[in-house]
Amino acid sequence: MKNRPAPEIAALSAPVATLDDLAKLANYSLMDTLNCDPQATADGADHAPRQVFSGHYVPVQPTPIKDPEYVAHSQIFFRELNFADSLAQSADFVRMFSGDLTHVPLPLRKVGWATGYALSIYGKEYYQQCPFRTGNGYGDGRALSVLEAVINGRRWEMQLKGGGRTPYCRGADGRAVLRSSVREFLAQEHMHALGVPTSRALSLYVSKTEQVQRPWYSQGSHAQDPDRLITEAVAITTRVAPSFIRVGQLELFGRRARKEEHPQALQELEQLVLHLIAREYAEVIDPQLNIGAKVLLLAGAFRSRLTALVANWIRVGYCQGNFNGDNCAAGGFTLDYGPFGFCEVFDPFYQPWTGGGEHFSFLNQPVAAERNFQMFCTALRPLLDPLEDADCLHQLDDICSGFAAVMQAQMQQMWAAKLGLGTFHPTLFSELETLMRQTPVDYSLFFRELSSLPDDIEPLKKSFYQGSLGDRQGLELRWSKWLKQWQTLVGVGTSDESTDQRRNREELSRQMKRVNPKYTLREWFLAPAYSQASACNYALVRELQAVMTQPYAEQSQAVEDSYHRRKPAELFNVGGLSHLSCSS
Give catalytic residues, as residue numbers. Answer: 326
Spatial separation of the C-alpha atoms in residues 88 and 108, rounded to whole Å: 17
Backbone angles phi, psi at 452, to 5 degrees: -85, 5
Spatial separation of the C-alpha atoms in residues 240 and 333, rounded to whole Å: 12
Spatial separation of the C-alpha atoms in residues 29 and 52, rounded to whole Å: 21
Q: What angle do CA 569, 550, 301 make, to 5 degrees?
A: 100
Residue 175: count other Cβ atoms within 10 Å of its Cβ.
27
| Residue 15 exposure: Cα atoms within 13 Å on the Cβ side | 13
Answer left, alpha or beta for residue 257, where phi above 0 means left and psi between -120 and 50 means alpha.
Answer: alpha
Q: What angle do CA 343, 332, 260 make, to 5 degrees?
A: 120
Cβ atoms of residues 87 and 14 within 8 Å: no
Spatial separation of the C-alpha atoms in residues 524 and 352, rounded to whole Å: 13
H/E stretch holding 319 reads strand 318-319
Spatial separation of the C-alpha atoms in residues 409 and 399, rounded to whole Å: 15
- CA distances, 300 to each of 51, 260, 402 (Å): 34, 27, 10
What is the Rg, in whole angstroms, of the alpha carbon atoms belonging to the chain? 24
Q: Give me the amino acid identity at 330.
A: A
DSSP letter for each residue of 132-158:
TSSSTT-B-SSEEEEEEEEETTEEEEE
Of 74, 77, 72, 67, the closest CA to residue 99 belongs to 67
107 prior amide bond cis, ω within 30: yes
Q: Rounding to the nearest 10 degrees, give the CA dihedral for residues 9, 13, 16, 18.
A: 160
- CA distances, 319 to each of 239, 337, 432, 514 (Å): 20, 10, 20, 20
Contacts of range 538-543, beta carbons closer than 8 Å, 24 or more positions apart: 538/71, 538/72, 541/71, 541/72, 541/182, 541/186, 542/72
Spatial separation of the C-alpha atoms in residues 92 and 104, rounded to whole Å: 8
Go through the chain and tell me how many residues it has.
Answer: 584
Spatial separation of the C-alpha atoms in residues 169 and 411, rounded to whole Å: 37
Residue 237's Cα: distance from chain center in Å?
14
Reduce the secondary structure of 484-505 to three states and give it as a string. HHHHHHHCCCCCCCCHHHHHHH
